[in-house]
């Protein structure tokens, strides 16, 4: 969506500052997710199992899949990420973009994994479980 640009407008400067802040946070989160993928994947899968969000016959296989996804996030284009999270963008007031993406990954993609028996809960339940782990790396 294009935005008209009026030079020296304080509104535009404010919007640009917000956009820059969100982009810095996004890059920071994606880098942290890639760098800490094994630990985050372990914690995420454990939380999803503990909260009865997923039922699996191999937590190791699911952990490897989630770890691979976390490592590949920094290579995803902004458009692809926004497209992926669009259906659940309004699930939280100030959503963590990484938590939104992983939530959508669980809902859309992980459910088709051969080691997943079933995924339970609605979008908000999955988001809360995912965000309870990923919010720890979000800058405040």
Cβ atoms of 54 and 48 within 8 Å: the answer is yes
Q: Please report whether residue 1 resides in a domain.
A: no
Task: Identify the domain containing residue 59 by its residue range.
Answer: 10-137
Domain tally for the chain? 1
Which residues, including other chains, have CB under 8 Å from residue 115's CB and lie 6 or more apart?
A: 56, 57, 58, 61, 62
What SS3 string covers 10-56?
HHHHHHHHHHHHHHHHHHHHHHHHHHCHHHHHHHHHHHHHHCCCEEE
Q: Please report whether residue 28 resides in a domain.
A: yes
Tens digit of pLDDT at every position of the chain (140 positions): 555 555 557 778 888 888 888 888 888 888 999 999 999 999 999 999 999 999 999 999 999 999 999 999 888 888 999 999 999 999 988 888 899 999 999 999 999 999 999 999 999 999 999 999 998 888 77
pLDDT at res. 7: 55
Q: Please report whether residue 4 resides in a domain.
A: no
Instruction: Classify 117 as helix, strand or coil.
Output: strand
pLDDT at res. 5: 53
Rounded to the nearest 10°, the torsion over CA 118, 124, 129, 135 is 140
Q: Please report whether residue 36 resides in a domain.
A: yes
Cβ atoms of 104 and 65 within 8 Å: the answer is no
Q: Please report whether residue 2 resides in a domain.
A: no
Distance CA 81, CA 18 (A): 19
């Amino acid at each position: 969506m294009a935005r008209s640009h009026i030079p020296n407008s304080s509104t535009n400067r404010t919007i640009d500052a917000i956009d820059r802040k969100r982009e810095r946070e996004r890059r920071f989160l994606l880098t942290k997710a890639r760098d800490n993928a094994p630990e985050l994947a372990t914690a995420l899968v454990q939380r999803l199992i503990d909260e009865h969000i997923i039922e699996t016959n191999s937590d190791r296989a699911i952990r490897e899949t989630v770890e691979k996804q976390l490592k590949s996030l920094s290579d995803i284009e902004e458009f692809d990420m926004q497209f992926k999270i669009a259906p659940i963008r309004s699930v939280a007031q100030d959503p963590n973009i990484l938590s939104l993406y992983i939530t959508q990954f669980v809902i859309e993609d992980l459910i088709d994994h051969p080691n997943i028996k079933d995924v339970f809960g609605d979008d908000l339940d999955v988001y809360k479980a995912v965000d309870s782990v990923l919010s720890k790396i979000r800058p405040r």
